[in-house]
Chains A and B, each alone.
Chain A
Amino acid sequence: QKEVEQNSGPLSVPEGAIASLNCTYSDRGSQSFFWYRQYSGKSPELIMFIYSNGDKEDGRFTAQLNKASQYVSLLIRDSQPSDSATYLCAVNVDSSYKLIFGSGTRLLVRP
């Protein structure tokens, strides 16, 4: 079993809709969780991170964490074509802050 799992997609949503991206992880000791956005041919860009159960909002982005279910999600409200990218979920597994990444979900926002 992979440590961090994501649906590869593509997830296709119309412009203005809410995009919901999901991620599950296997290590119950994981403490912090990250979402990165990666455009084709570019490097990952940090969007947000979350430590505690519940929701964390930043602009159009909301990260949701449920440690009991080992599940983290990213909601993108009012999706724009410029949001079309691969979204990588990553988990911190120990005090080194080393991140374990999922394979990413490709999001397509249709104009």
Chain B
Amino acid sequence: DTGVSQDPRHKITKRGQNVTFRCDPISEHNRLYWYRQTLGQGPEFLTYFQNEAQLEKSRLLSDRFSAERPKGSFSTLEIQRTEQGDSAMYLCASSMDSIAIYFGEGSWLTVV
């Protein structure tokens, strides 16, 4: 069990560019979550997958954001036409039909 893995860990991009983050959940975990965290705040829920199905999306997830989990294993979060307000830590988490949700190390995004 290697834990939730996220890549890249840090990304600096220019405003208007697209970025994509990848998440590999804990093996056999069927639930996968994306959260966003800004300085001084707790993580905010973005979206949730059970296996390959995206079951819920937050209002925070504007049309510029899209997430996929094509084979029910890894997931990607893409942000199109990035804005400075997108700068945050993007956290992936997973769980296996249980209450406990485990986070990855996060992907830091800085939009300049």
Contact = CB atoms under 8 A, between A and B. Distances in A.
Interface of A: 4, 8, 32, 34, 36, 42-46, 49, 51, 88, 90, 92, 96-104
A99 B44 contact: no
Q: How large is the interface on B (under 10, 10 to 19, 20 to 34, 35 or more residues)?
A: 20 to 34
B104 interface: yes
Interface in B89-106: 89, 91, 95, 98-106
B41 A103 contact: yes
Contacts of B55: 96
B43 interface: yes
Given A43-B103, A44-B91, A98 B56 contact: yes
Contact of B101 (A4, A42, A99): A99
